[in-house]
Amino acid sequence: MARRKGLIAQMIDARKQAKKLEAQAEARRHRELIAEQKRQQAEADREAKQAEAAAKKAEAAAKKAEAARLRQEVQAQRLADQAATKAAREAAQRAQAEERRRNAETRAKAQEAAAAKRLADQEEHARKIAEAEFRTEAVTARFAEFAKLLMHRNRRAADATVELSATLSNGGPDPFVERLQHVLAQSRYPEGLTGKAAAHYDAASRELLIEYELPLQDAVPTVVAYRYTKAKGMTAVPRKEPETKKLYGDLLARLTLRTIAEAFDATAPDLVAGVVFNGYVSTKDKATGRAIRPLLISIDAERDRFAEIELDEPELDPVLCLRSHLNAIVSPHPYDLEAVRPVVSFDLSKYKFVDEMDVVAGMDSRTDLLTLSPGEFEHLIRRLFEAIGMKSWVTQASKDEGVDGVAINEDPIVGGLCIIQAKRYSKIVGLEAVHALAGVMDHKRAAKGVLVTTSWVGKASRDFAAANGRIQIIEGRNLKHMLKEHLNLDVLIGLPKLPPGWQQSDVT
């Protein structure tokens, strides 16, 4: 029993031991499980902490990166702002520099303009003063010319005495008067004084009747001098009216004495014993507007009494000479155009005024023919034909039917009427001019025609002239040689280009 109890106890003990062991094992497993859970929890916590730390680290890194990015952006913005500020500052500096440069240029230009204006004003002032002096000198020179009218009379008028005597003997009074008018027209006058005269010859009384066109009052300047000041500009110093009137009367008297002297010089004493001179002025009546022609001077001058006058004497008073010595009828108020009665009245309506020019006397040795006026050139050609030995006249400027001049060759065999065309051209003269000359020659029944030009003609013109047989062409280079040979004039011809075959020496 005791033994069975022991076994049961042992079995219970064993069971208990087993349960205890199992409980211990369970407790151990439980502990291990708890420990494992704790370990896992601890591991999880560690991992969570690590994850959290990593997250925090990552977050910190992100924040740091963001901060760095922000710092970079701030730095970049600051640099950009600094660059913009610098650029703006530099732009402002450049703008200021440009403004200063422009201002400097503006000031410089203004200074230059002011200096130029001052210089221009000074030059204009000097020019105006010089102009005033020049105009004053012109007035002085004009009166000096008036004072020398008698001294500068045509001294060569006496060279025509023999020719005029022969003309009167061979042709009668009309050619004689025409030639005498031509001689009187050679006298050179100051500008504004025409010297126009018409004449008639009375063979029975041996008197030469001259009707002369006197100048108007405006031929005498009404100023003494010119002055220029900045305040008043150009001003004229007026001449006193009594002095102006006296000078006008003096001028008319000098023209009268000069014309009579040249008429006596040009004619032989056995042909002309006296000169009747009537001096008129052509003007308008201010009261009616009609043309009037008052006579201001009339004189019947005898040759012997006129010869007593010393015309070259500076102290000669021309007005006193006319009134006291020659007993002329002189207007008491010529400036007011108060007319007088003529000593002899005669009709010259059928005679034409001859207004010829002594072109040669006014030319120097190197005159360019192209600088002459057409009228001057025509008169030069007239003088050339006269020097060759022909009688020559210049036609009127209008209604001349294409004729510039006529010449007469008095040779009974080869002589006759010669028609002259004068062409002051710088380019070629066309064939139509030669055709026109041939037509005028036929119409005028002229023996010869001469075309004189400063330029040249073409082959067709030369062939036509040769076929016609009565036309002669004198081109510029030939004209130059003829003027040198017959008038001793070494002229120039300023052609823009040399004609074919010409040399420079042909025109210079």
Would you write out the chain's pLDDT as a tens digit for each of its 508 residues? 555 566 777 777 777 777 777 777 777 777 777 877 788 887 877 887 887 878 788 788 888 888 888 888 888 888 888 888 888 888 889 989 999 999 988 888 989 888 888 888 888 888 888 888 888 888 888 888 889 999 999 999 999 999 999 999 998 888 999 999 888 888 888 887 888 888 899 888 889 999 999 999 999 999 989 998 988 899 999 999 999 999 999 999 999 999 999 999 999 999 999 999 999 999 998 889 899 999 999 999 999 999 999 999 999 999 999 999 998 999 999 999 998 888 754 444 433 333 445 555 555 557 888 888 877 888 788 788 878 876 555 554 433 444 455 565 554 444 566 788 888 898 999 999 898 888 888 776 777 889 999 999 999 999 999 998 889 999 999 999 998 888 888 889 989 888 988 988 888 8
CB-CB contact of 475 with 457 (8 Å) = yes
CA distance 28 to 491: 157
DSSP state at residue 355: -
Q: What pLDDT is recorded for position 139?
A: 85
Give the chain's radius of gyration (CA, Å).
61
Q: What pLDDT is recorded for position 194?
A: 80
CA distance 275 to 268: 12
Q: What pLDDT is recorded for position 487?
A: 85
Classify the C-alpha dihedral 12-15-21-25 as positive or negative: negative
- Residue 219: CB partners within 8 Å, gap ≥ 6? 192, 193, 248, 251
Structure tokens at 150: 């008698």
Structure tokens at 339: 């007319």
DSSP state at residue 398: S
- Residue 403: CB partners within 8 Å, gap ≥ 6? 395, 419, 420, 421, 440, 444
List the Cα angle 79/81/85 in 5-degree steps.
115
Q: What pLDDT is recorded for position 350?
A: 34
Amino acid, res. 432:
E
Strand order in the sheet with 391-394: 391-394, 405-409, 416-423, 448-453, 471-474
CB-CB contact of 243 with 311 (8 Å) = no
> Closest Cα to residue 144, out of 254, 37, 7?
254
**Beta pairing, strands 416-423 & 448-453:** parallel
CA distance 83 to 90: 10
* Owner of token pair 């006008």: 248
Amino acid, res. 433:
A
Q: What pLDDT is recorded for position 281?
A: 93
Q: Show the domains of the chain with their CATH numbers.
A: 124-336 (no CATH), 360-506 (3.40.1350.10)
Q: Looking at 104-215, which runs of residues are DSSP E strands?
A: 197-202, 207-213
Q: How many CB atoms lie within 10 A of CB 433?
A: 19
Where do the H-state alpha helices sit in 148-172? 161-171
